[in-house]
Amino acid sequence: MGQPLSSYDSDFVAWTAEQAAVLRHAAELRPNLPADWLNLAEEVESMGKSDKRAAESHLVGIIEHLLKLEFSPAVEPRRGWEESVDHHRRALARLLEDSPSLRAHVADRLAACWRDGRKDAARGLMRDGLGDGALPAACPYTLDQCLDVDWWPGARVG
């Protein structure tokens, strides 16, 4: 535990991981205090994991709707897709603001989020007569593009 700990206010996810490690270390020392150290560690750690899952979920939503905007010939739901991208971008930005260390996690999970977002988009695009093959196999978007409130892919149809 030689390194300074992250601040609760500056990086919540890093703080939860560090506090869980401190609690596990305390459990090894077997202090004579009536605390359930290991379960406390698990609970604190789960709060950080919850933010990681939320960040991934927002990235999946961004990717799904960017794909629909880029590949769907449909006109009517486009505004809703744009609003969804805006919503997910703002929510993800807030999570990254509270926990800057989440950016590295989200970057590491971009490929997995791409697979999920692509699958969700493909299911929706089947109503437009587009098959799974209409979407690229690899993610055409960078993390920066996904997060950039001013970036939008060009429509490939219409």
Identify the residue with better confidence: 106 or 29: 106
- For the record, the structure tokens of 107 come out as 């970057």
CA dist list (Å): 67 to 33, 78, 91: 54, 11, 19
Grade residue 102 by pLDDT with cuts at 50, 70 and 90.
very high
pLDDT tens digits along 22-79: 888 988 887 777 888 788 888 888 988 999 999 999 999 999 999 999 999 888 889 9
* Residue 1, pLDDT above cutoff 50: no
Higher pLDDT, 48 or 81: 81
Tell me the whole-structure pTM to 2 decimals.
0.86
Q: What is the mean pLDDT of the chain?
A: 90
- The pLDDT of 110-126, averaged and rounded, is 94
What span, in angstroms and rounded, lies between the C-alpha atoms of 61 and 84? 7
The pLDDT of residue 32 is 77
pLDDT computed for residue 56 by the predictor: 98
Domains of the chain: 12-147 (1.20.1220.20)
Q: Which residues, 6 or more positions from 45, have their beta carbon under 8 angstroms from its beta carbon?
A: 16, 17, 20
> What are the residue ranges of helices labelled H in the chain?
12-29, 37-71, 78-98, 102-108, 110-125, 143-147
pLDDT at 158: 59
